[in-house]
Structure 1
Amino acid sequence: MKAVTKKQRMYEITFDQETVGCSNNSNILAAAKRNFLKLPYGCFNGGCGMCKIKIVAGDYEVGLSSKAALPDNEREKGYALACKTYPLSDLMVRVMGR
């Protein structure tokens, strides 16, 4: 059986006035850290909720995270955790914890 791998694509993530590159294989928090942007974070694992963001525009997918850190009603309104969010297009993001 063949392993299925996602083709890597690069996207632009815009945080307020800063724009950084991020591949679809990297989460938004990792891309921000690589580019020396100061986003709040704690566990880097979807459990604490400190890296909460609001996706203003664009397509993305999310990994598993704690419902306590990000309840379903917030997910439905476009909130996500930067440590568990992967771009599928260019994104405009608002950081909630600054």
Structure 2
Amino acid sequence: MHQIRLINSEEQFHCYTGNSLLEGMQRLSRKGIPVGCRGGGCGICRVQVLSGNYHCKKMSREHVNETELNAGIGLACRLYPESDLEVAVLGLKSSKKRL
């Protein structure tokens, strides 16, 4: 089990090995990370890992490009902790399109 700390809200929760950050948060009825599709496609649960080790599963490149991924940015529904983590919640990337 890993300790997860959300720096935006100072909220902390435990996440079991094998659970995504989002699953760990929801299991404990926490509300620190926005919840969307839960499958890596919508981008609402965008976070940046500031410290700790994790691995990622496939996620939309529209919401997280390779440069961002290398900077620790990803979708909480597709990030799996391998140690305690310190995380900043970013939310949905602002759209460059104007209506």
Which TM-score bucket, shorter chain as reference? 0.7 to 0.9
Following the alignment from structure 1 to structure 2, what is the Cα–Cα distance between the partners of residues 53 and 65?
13
Give, as a single letter, the amino acid of the residue that structure 2 aligns with 1:36.
S
The residue aligned with 1:30 is: 23
Q: Tell me, in whole angstroms, the C-alpha distance in 2 between the residues paired with 1:80 and 1:41.
A: 14
Aligned equivalent of 1:77 = 71
Q: Aligned runs of 1:34-45 on 2, under 5 Å?
A: 34-38=27-31, 39-45=33-39
* Alignment partners' CA distance in 2, 1:45 and 1:12: 23
Determine helix, strand or coil for the equivalent of 1:54.
strand
User: Runs of 4 or more off by more than 2 Å in structure 1?
Assistant: none
Q: In structure 1, what is the equivalent of residue 81 of structure 2?
A: 87
Show structure 2 runs of 5+ residues with no match: 93-99
Query: Which one-letter code corresponds to 1:15 in the other structure?
Result: L
Structure 2 Cα separation of the partners of residues 61 and 68 of structure 1? 19
Contact 2:41 2:59 in 1 (8 A): yes
Q: CA RMSD for the aligned pairs? A: 1.3
How many residues get paired?
89
SS in 2 for 1:73: helix
Which ranges of structure 1 fall in alignment gaps of 5 or more residues?
1-9
Partner-residue secondary structure (3-state), 2:77: helix
Deviations along 1:24-75, one digit per CA (max 9) or x if unpaired, are 2100001111222222121110011110000010000000111112111110
